[in-house]
Amino acid sequence: MRRVLPLLLLLAGCSTEVEFDPEGLLCDEGGVCPEGYACIEGVCRVPCSGAGCPGVTVNRCANVTCDAPSPSFCVDGTLLRAFLAQGTCEPSTGECSYPVVETTCQAGCVDGRCVGEGGCAGVTCTTPPSPQCEGSNLRTWISPGTCSAAGQCNYFSSVQSCPNGCAAGACSALQLAFSETAPAVPSVLTAVDSAPGSSGNHVLVAGPGGYVARWNGAAWTKLNSGTQASLRAVSLYGSGSSVGGAVVGDNGTVLLYDGTSLAKATVPGLNAALRSVHATSAQQVLVGGGAQVAVRSGSAWSLPSVSGGSLDSTSDVLLQGSR
């Protein structure tokens, strides 16, 4: 009977590190390979990445500029072959190709040009200069151009005005920016209007509790409205020292504005919650709300009858001409 004797191997101060390379070993059941390897066609291999790997497409035109065509040459005694200055790149090879232009030379072809035709033989002027800013104007060139006797391309240009300025060879787009201007208005606002031609430097706002304030381009000033009614609509007219308008609100409240202060108007029979107003002068004011309309013509007010409907939109009333 053969006896198996245990063997005890004592290693002192020796390195027992063994490098194991699974490259090429068969994959475990389920296609499992050690970390860093993938089961490819039944064998553990390091996964392939980058150029040269199966299924990986490389764009060889990434840094290629096709702007150096071959010189023109004579195919035979009468045919000139030239190439356009701008070519195209083939992504799979990175090679440039240039469109061909062939010209029949009436007096013959010698040294890459037609005899007696100067330097324009085979020249195509289809690459105009890039658009260019000239102050607040934009100059653009028209293609195709014309060729001079020296073989130089010339292009006609046109100039357009850029209302919002010109930058980087293009008209600038209109930029609208809004920012809060201190001090803020200490009230909820329900209506606002700006006097025509004031460039936003004469503004009237209104809100609950009879709140009215004026903006003069630098600061807000609260105006004495003489009422606690909620105010709903504002209409301004005029410019400069001729600004005026009207403010309307609940309980038939109508305030006339002379550009500096407010005065409450007395309109007999008007008691609706007014939501709209349009003023074109101190003598022409139209207000509306609910089922009531009031008109000021000169110094007198009248209440025309309204048949049905409700006037609760700021666009419900509008004065036209002198009416």
pLDDT tens readout for residues 142-172: 887 777 655 678 788 888 989 888 999 999 8
Q: How far is CA 9 from the centre of its chain?
A: 79
Confidence grade of residue 54 (pLDDT, cut at 50, 70, 90): low
Radius of gyration (Cα) for the chain, nearest Å? 43
pLDDT tens readout for residues 92-115: 788 898 888 787 777 788 777 777
Q: How far is CA 300 from the centre of its chain?
A: 51
List beta partners, residue 133. 138
3-state secondary structure 40-86: ECCEEECCCCCCCCCCCCCCCCCCCCCCCCCCCEECCCCEEEEECCC
d(CA 274, CA 315) in angstroms, rounded, equals 12
Confidence grade of residue 119 (pLDDT, cut at 50, 70, 90): low
Confidence grade of residue 72 (pLDDT, cut at 50, 70, 90): confident
155 CB-contact burial (10 Å; exposed 0-12 / middle 13-18 / buried 19+): middle
More confident residue, 140 or 178: 140
pLDDT tens readout for residues 9-48: 333 444 444 445 566 677 765 667 777 777 777 778 777 6
pTM equals 0.45
pLDDT tens readout for residues 201-254: 899 999 999 999 999 988 899 999 999 999 999 999 998 889 999 999 999 999
- The confidence score (pLDDT) of residue 207 equals 94
Confidence grade of residue 187 (pLDDT, cut at 50, 70, 90): confident
